[in-house]
Chain A
Amino acid sequence: MKKIILVAFVLSAFVLKAQMKVDDVKTFTLTNGMKFLVVEDFSIPNANMYLFYKVGSRNEYQGITGLSHFFEHMMFNGAKKYGPKQFDQTMEFNGGANNAYTTENVTVYTNWFPASAAEVIFDLESDRIASLSIDPEMVESERGVVLSERSTGLENSPWRLLSQSLQATAFQEHPYHWPVIGYEDDMKNWTQQDLERYFKTYYAPNNCVVVVSGALKFEEVKRLAEKYLQPIPAQTAPPKVHIVEPKQTGERRITVQKEVTNPYLMIGYKTPESKHEDYYALNILSSILSRGKSSRLYASLVDNQQLATMVFTDYGDSFDPNLFNFYAVANKNVSSESIEKAIYFEIEKVKNEGISETELQKVKNQKLMEFYNQIETIDGKSNNIGTYEVFFGDYKKMFNAPENYNKVTVTDVQNVAKKYFSKSNRTVGVLKTNVEE
């Protein structure tokens, strides 16, 4: 439905039909340091606003773990003009909906609304960013909500328990050590002062990037931003996260007990952050290993050998070095040791023999389709632009992505496999019913 296509993502053989240029994203920065990225798109009478705050669980320390995520919840619980409940009530009355999420790195607020309601949305955001009020009663009931959120995550997926245990083992010093949701005991003990300090430190306009896409003119967005958000004063920049995880010098292994049919396996290799030069090769490697039924791990472990019922890999965006993860669930009567071995066998194959040109081309083709899917919606546009701006330092890097993917050669992919997939650089986690055997 899009009239405007944002990004040049011209991968090798393909030329996109639609005109794409960096100028389709227009930007301005308010005097208080809040940066805006705007995309006009009149295909539907709706618009959205994505606010990326550079705060996540990596900004916490033990004693206040989970506070970033809890704070995300508190941002909906009342400010000066719009009291408790009124943020959501007002937004919904005006036809808008919202959500938010917190990761290790960022906290993102998303508003989806009919373009005609834009002024109300700016007013609501302005109110909570300028003058959030942290009502002790709301803190208590919201504490119950996040405890339920934690519990239901653990209740419904073994991956939650396994991945937080693995993460805690892989990272011994860096704040990626604890889960985004927090430790249960910390969750029960956050104080009013913790919340107030957090708000002042991290919820400053200069710590936020805002993306607006949809049926709104750039000039209108700018006018509203200047009226509602510019008066909010800037704050001193938040303290840097100074902890660097020491180099891992040997394989680490953990076992976790949970009642499951067959064992769950996770392997995490330490890999660099999004801004690193190896990012694109690692990203491509992840697709070659596990994207689609013709991918190496699926074809081998699930289809041919029938050792696993599912297998996937994940190399996400992050500010600090994080993990390249492998996940697999054992088939009936298959031990976690067998799938672990089978995964290493495939990893060694990449390290020793490399990948084929056809596989590399396949991933480049898949990246193009991925890109099309993202630009089909105004939400995909906002999310993409914001992600590049925040994780890669500049939304314009999105325009270099095609070039960066295209530059990757089969040798580069083999080299990153060799560089990062070593025994001493990995943490292995197994979750199963019987942990005594």
Chain B
Amino acid sequence: MKILNIKSTVIFCLLAITQISLIAQSYKLPNYTTFKLSNGLTVYLMEQHDVPVISLSAIVAAGAIYDGENPGLASLTAAALMHSTQNFSKAKIDEEIDFIGANINTYASKEFAGLSAKFASKDSDKVLKIFKEIMLNPTFNSEEFDKEKSRLLVELEQKKESPRAVIGSYFDKLIYGNHVYGNVISGTTTSVEKLAVNDVKDFYENNYLPNESAICIVGDFSSKEMKSTITKLFSGWKKRNIVRANVFDATVKVPSKNNVLLVNKDDANETTFYIGSTGISRNNPDFVAISVVNTLFGGRFTSMLNDELRVNSGLTYGASSRFSTLKNAGTFYISTFTAKETTQEAIDKALEVLKSLHQNGIDEKALTSAKNYVKGQFPPDYETTDQLARLLSEMFWYNFDASFINNFENNVNSLDLSKANNIIATYFPKDNLQFVLVGKASEIKPIAEKYGDVTVVEIKD
């Protein structure tokens, strides 16, 4: 079945949340245990026996912020973990994993690298053994590396065929500038071109450290047995004292004027754009309150943005807003797209809605609706073993605990109108806005100039 056409693309921000008060009991996080191995590796275990599967999410402090002079290095290193290990060739890993219907993925995000897996519980021993090999004993086969790299170079070119696929990186660069949070996870063709298999080996040696990592396992197993299995498999991971640059320390500059980055795509029929500024970090004490207010502004189908740009005016298929959070900083952006001819109308409308949020605030009825909505949509976010494993690894990385889940409903309920209106004034940008427009520069540049100082770059560069 091809699912071609979907009514609402609206992306639910930060978190999508659930449940209406009266009858239903609130959602509580199932019990889990956590312990540390002597090498500093943190382990989380949560039993869930309803379906005979296990999900695993490992997290290592080895994301793109550690790329240094080599954009794309963290990401390529994560991919190269699967290329070969002491005891398995790449073909053997692929075969074994596919045969049992399991999957193992490795990736780098902005801040951390991750390995995730899902498999039938009866295959636990087999998968964990491979998983350990990938994580601790990768051998970085150079032939496989070359193949991966050349594939990546083509993919980087192909990404430029889709404005939606690249706009986020441009926006991060515009907001974060030279801060490591501006690093582009996948790198660029120029930077990836220069990478060699030894760079990947070095990156692994210097950044994959047990003392800054966690393994989170959720599913159909006995915690006691799993604890002993994991202890056996991962105790040999050597703790090393490597001093790394403290990449988190630098502060992110708040913009002092409007800027427009215009990304030229000659064959564009649409203009895809972000408007925003700096945002909040994941540990912001107002995290939940901000997500409730953002739900009203641009986080659901009836949000102010989608209502104005889609429902009232038919300018776009969808408009939304989002606070994207990291450990020490974040961004806020409005995101939408429209036909080339309606570029100005859509930007103006988006700005009007933002202005109206500041001028008129929100009312009691809207706030109640948003609170009901975030509570109502919360439990399905933590329904599967993979969702729960991911949650545990985020708890480790961002340093929060089960109270986030267990107090969620109370935190939502305690948000009153005056606090909500304060949240708007404090966290939603009002001026010095940053714009990224991906579209046909020869036609939309005069429009772009109305919103700030314009820099034009080519999408093909």
Chain A residues engaging chain B, CB cutoff 8 angstroms? 1-3, 5, 14, 16-18, 43-46, 69, 72-73, 76, 85, 88-89, 92-106, 112-117, 140-149, 151-158, 179-181, 215, 258-262, 291-295, 299, 302-303, 306, 309, 314, 316-318, 329, 331-332, 358, 361-362, 365-370, 372-373, 375-379, 387, 391
Evaluate contact between B376 and A2: CB separation under 8 angstroms: no
A387 to B1, CA, bound (A): 9
B337 within 8 A of partner (CB)? yes
Known: A89-B369, A148-B338, A157-B162. A376 touches B383 (CB 8 A): yes
Q: Which of A45, A94, A156, A391 is B379 in contact with, Cβ under 8 Å? A: A45
Give A179's nearest chain B residue, CB to CB: B4
B379 contacts across to A, CB distance below 8 A = 44-46
Evaluate contact between B376 and A114: CB separation under 8 angstroms: yes
Known: A96-B376, A101-B5, A148-B316. A369 touches B52 (CB 8 A): no
Q: Which of A1, A99, A140 is B8 in contact with, Cβ under 8 Å? A: A99
Known: A89-B369, A112-B380. A148 touches B7 (CB 8 A): no
Evaluate contact between B7 and A76: CB separation under 8 angstroms: yes
Closest 3 CB pairs of A and B: A95-B376, A144-B314, A369-B101
Q: Contact flags (1/0) for B136-148 with A, using CB distance below 8 Å? A: 0000000000010
Known: A85-B311, A152-B337. A332 touches B150 (CB 8 A): yes
B2 contacts across to A, CB distance below 8 A = 103-104, 180, 314, 316
Chain B CB within 10 Å, residue with most, of A18, A293, A318: A293
B453 contacts across to A, CB distance below 8 A = none
Known: A17-B49, A309-B155. 15 other contacts (CB 8 A): A1-B383, A5-B51, A18-B51, A85-B307, A88-B301, A93-B372, A97-B301, A101-B6, A151-B270, A152-B164, A156-B162, A156-B163, A261-B161, A367-B101, A373-B384
Can you spell out 11 A-B residue pairs with CB atoms less than 8 angstroms apart?
A1-B50, A46-B376, A105-B1, A116-B19, A148-B315, A148-B338, A154-B269, A180-B2, A294-B99, A365-B99, A369-B118
Evaluate contact between B151 and A309: CB separation under 8 angstroms: yes
Give B161's nearest chain A residue, CB to CB: A260
Known: A99-B8, A259-B267, A329-B158. A92 touches B316 (CB 8 A): no
B48 within 8 A of partner (CB)? yes
Give B102's nearest chain A residue, CB to CB: A369
Evaluate contact between B147 and A69: CB separation under 8 angstroms: no
B95 contacts across to A, CB distance below 8 A = 294
Count of A-B contacts judged by CB separation below 8 Å: 271
A400 to B267, CA, bound (A): 50
B457 within 8 A of partner (CB)? no
B242 within 8 A of partner (CB)? no
Evaluate contact between B376 and A117: CB separation under 8 angstroms: yes
A141 contacts across to B, CB distance below 8 A = 311-314
Give B306's nearest chain A residue, CB to CB: A88
A379 contacts across to B, CB distance below 8 A = 380
Chain A CB within 10 Å, residue with most, of B5, B158, B266, B376: B5
Q: How far is the CB of B408 from chain A (nearest CB, A)?
A: 13
A329 to B102, CA, bound (A): 26
Evaluate contact between A144 and B300: CB separation under 8 angstroms: no
Chain A interface, DSSP helix/strand/loop, else mixed: mixed
A46 contacts across to B, CB distance below 8 A = 18-19, 376, 379-380
Evaluate contact between A181 and B5: CB separation under 8 angstroms: yes
Q: Which of B6, B373, B377 is A93 in contact with, Cβ under 8 Å? A: B373
Q: Which of B22, B27, B118, B369 is A92 in contact with, Cβ under 8 Å? A: B369
B390 within 8 A of partner (CB)? no
A215 to B20, CA, bound (A): 14
B252 within 8 A of partner (CB)? no
B220 contacts across to A, CB distance below 8 A = 17
Q: Which of B24, B317, B369 is A152 in contact with, Cβ under 8 Å? A: B317
B6 contacts across to A, CB distance below 8 A = 99-101
A156 to B9, CA, bound (A): 14
Evaluate contact between A92 and B300: CB separation under 8 angstroms: yes
Give B376's nearest chain A residue, CB to CB: A95
A140 contacts across to B, CB distance below 8 A = 314
Interface residues of B in 21-45 (CB under 8 A from A): 22-27
A370 contacts across to B, CB distance below 8 A = 101
B377 contacts across to A, CB distance below 8 A = 95, 97, 112
A31 to B25, CA, bound (A): 35
Give A370's nearest chain B residue, CB to CB: B101
A133 to B311, CA, bound (A): 16
Give B160's nearest chain A residue, CB to CB: A261
Evaluate contact between B99 and A73: CB separation under 8 angstroms: no
A230 to B384, CA, bound (A): 35
